[in-house]
Chains A and B, each alone.
Chain A
Amino acid sequence: MKLTLWTYEGPPHVGAMRIATAMDKVHYVLHAPQGDTYADLLFTMIERMKKRPPVTYTTFQARDLGSDTAELFKDAARTAYARFQPDLLMVGASCTAELIQDDPGGLAAALDLPVPILPLELPAYQKKENWGAAETFYQMVRLLGQDHVLPPGQQRAARAAGAKPSCNILGPTALGFRHRDDVQEISRLLRELGIEVNVVAPLGANPADIARLYEADFNVNLYPETANTAATWMTRSFGQPSTKSIPIGFKGTQAFITEVCQLAGIECDVQKFSQSSKARWYALSVDSTYLTNKRVFIFGDATHAIAAAKVAAHEMGFKVVGLGTYSRELAREVREAAAELGLEAMITDDYLEVEAKITELQPELILGTQMERHIAKRLQIPCAVISSPVHVQDFPARYSPQMGFEGACVLFDSWVHPLMMGLEEHLIGMFRGDFEFHEGAMPSHLGHSSAPMKAETGGAGAGAEQITAPNLNLGNKTLAWETDAEKELNKIPFFVRGKARRNTEKYAVEQGLLSITLETLYDAKAHFKS
């Protein structure tokens, strides 16, 4: 059993729903208790879809458990097929139905429906949402592509002379973070490069489209979390190579262009394509100088976390002080990316661990998920969202890709926005106790009143101090701040104060001091600056 305040992913059957809902002419019959239909709201509310997800739930209740829940499932499958007439029927169980072991796959097969059945085995107590999506997509691609698998040892036939190179775009789903606009941005980029998009899947595809995947020359693996398993199988079975680079950020997009052109066997001038990006110039302009070495902590799914770390370090000039992911399936890639930045990656799905790490590091900016927003609020650190899980505000009406050159512009704006602007930062450092721009007021461009950021009272969050207070291992000593040192510490701008406090204490412990004086504070400052 695990204490979970917030979960980074839903259960695996939600991943399967994301595939079904992304597609046309697919229906999913889910053996699940009453109440599991809450998942419909993810699509109708958070993503604001105009249609109900194509999911029929058995919604059994306690009184059904004494009777024949298997019969209930068969009825649901029969009526769902009759009503919706899908070209493919997915069947599976939610976590509670997994416990009662009715075998939806076997039951559905016994119904003899005139439609392919995709039975899903998604272990709800071991695996999670993205795995569920990846597994569902992979099983579907396998089922519908089986007639086109190359015999062992046979190479893929060369592209017909004069034919345009073509690719599939794999991975975008319903409820994916900015998938809608990423697909548009990348499709346009590929078109401009002279590459045709054969099928985008699962988003917008139907089972017939899935059966056509083998036709493309190669695959663009846009979201490894959901497409890796299918892409790997297609490389093996159809001889289609797939892309490795993720087109997030200015440089990421350039690398992606180079890679797809190589896979398509075409020449292209990467520089020419790069001219449209304002993000690069914005980062180079002097207004951005104050962003240099701002300490940033990054957490999210592996794809977005790795990409964000690269953008933060190499395009924004931030200092990445922490990098982690909840995507265990891609832990190795994140470890490599962290090592390149001289860090050890955090691989965890435990919100409390992430919270503890951020508390310890005291970054000036957090790039994370909706869950890191909770931590950021508690620690009063600016925060921007780079990855699922996200909520309704991150399914915006406006065009907001993360990928491609336009995506790089979106990243620049949204990451810089929560930070205090340069001039204000300077003046706060110079003059304290201003009646309006006082210490601890929120950045004024965020439109908050100048109320203090720190609530000094206890109230509901009275337990919070315990965690925010650093817990350095001092053996049996206690470390005390002298009053004037504490006062001096409070003159340091709040966004670096947490770090200064920790550094000073660390220094004091190393020096074997029992109390921190004004001098200790400045000794520590000099020590860490050197």
Chain B
Amino acid sequence: MTILLLAEHDNQSLKPDTGKALSAALAMGSNVDVLVAGAGCQAVAAAAAELMGVSKVLVADDATYGHQLPENLSKLIVDIAADYSHIVASASSVAKDCLPRVAALLDVAQVSEIVAVIDPETFVRPIYAGNALATVKSLDDTRVITVRASAFEQAAGGNNADVVALTQVIAPMSEWVSQALTESSRPELASAGIVVSGGRGVGSRENFALLEQLADKLGAALGASRAAVDAGYVPNDLQVGQTGKIVAPSLYIAVGISGAIQHLAGMKDSKVIVAINKDADAPIFQVADYGLTADLFEAIPELINLI
């Protein structure tokens, strides 16, 4: 059984989640090829070839794949799918967009956001916003799977796999117009070791500066609840939860967040959870390892001073 792993990248660098999805793929079988599809993505292919456990790296380097639009990417993957028993990717926005399309073209079901591999056909995945874990056995010949990266360890480096170029080019179906990415010097939310998150209780966009100071002091990523995003305090790609990012850092600090089930779905697998809230009855305290009932405007500056 050979496994195809779709690399997650921005044409310049390979995202760490690819290494975590690789660990999941290696639990399904020992033979893993990585597909790097993009434009001007040779550096990404070189980085993928260094990951321990990769047999070979396939590179589809063409303007058609530059923005990894699902119409083109799915046809490329289906073209080479016959060689593979599993098609795997970390559950990034690109993979969530593309892999179901691949599955439907192959007439198979997809298993989304697995958190454990039981055997090459059986996987565990959360359902109902993480309130239940389903163990499912795939009966399809080709298994299309997305991986919740936060549930797996990063694969080691030091490999030197072959890099092979693919030449198929697919006619585009939709047109990319523009992209507006949030600029940030902080670590990426999904892979950060520490996350500082703010909710409605923070009160305003200006007040979020206080959390940014704390995040910078800790070298942490900044996150937010849906309430904070909807109120316009922060951009929506910082949202942690069922509909936003799923994170599992070693330390998650929730400030002014009540702890609705949709938010907990995105962070309850964090190693240590700290909650700072002035409402002693907030549900967040039920999952927090350390809770502090306090006004955040007094507690956060003091916290910044003490660490």
Partners in one complex: no
| Residues of B that sit less than 8 Å from A by CB | none
